[in-house]
Amino acid sequence: MNVITDFYQFKYSRDSYYIDLFINTKALLNIEQALDEMLSSFYTTKDEQCAYMRLKELFKSSRESTDSMYAEVRMNKCYLKYIKTLCYYFAYRVEYAPLKILNEYLQVFMIEDMENISSFINLNEDIKVRVLSNI
């Protein structure tokens, strides 16, 4: 008998949903600080909270796993919406300039893959949390 797989988890975990980036480790640390501030001081929905915690873990583990000036980050495209939202929260804060630069760079991917990303954005909150928790 075949194992039943969560369709959304399967769909959003395929290789075509990932972006490989090299990001300066100091910029990653700065973005982690923005994520900390967002998680501690603003109201966030369940899916935003899950995404921000997962992004923080991803950036921290990527940063700590290298001695180089740049860390390799393999990020799922589902997180693009959350980085964009985070960037808007801190748009006028000079100390979070690396976040703005990352967001501008990722806009290319968001435009290229708009159909798939918008299908994720339109899911209900519980499904988003389930997907984000497993990618």
Mean of pLDDT values over 2-25? 79
- CA distances 24 to 28, 49, 62, 133, Å, are 6, 24, 10, 26
Q: What is the pLDDT of residue 1?
A: 45
52: Cβ contacts below 8 Å, ≥ 6 apart: 35, 38, 39, 44, 82, 86
Question: What is the residue extent of each domain of the chain?
Answer: 12-134
In angstroms, rounded to a whole number, what is the distance separating the alpha carbons of residues 80 and 86?
Answer: 10
Lowest mean pLDDT, pick from 6-10, 36-40, 75-79, 85-89: 6-10
Does the structure show a pLDDT above 70 at 5? no
Mean of pLDDT values over 104-118? 80
Q: What is the pLDDT of residue 47?
A: 92
Element (H, E) at 73: strand 70-76
- The number of C-alpha atoms within 13 Å of 27 and in the hemisphere containing its C-beta is 16
- Per-residue confidence at 83, pLDDT binned at 50, 70, 90? very high
Q: What is the pLDDT of residue 4?
A: 47
Q: What is the pLDDT of residue 57?
A: 96
Does the structure show a pLDDT above 80 at 42? no
Mean of pLDDT values over 120-129? 86
- In three-state secondary structure terms, 18 is strand
Q: What is the pLDDT of residue 53?
A: 95
- Nearest by Cα to 80 from 53, 103, 46: 103
The two tokens of residue 25 are 């480790």
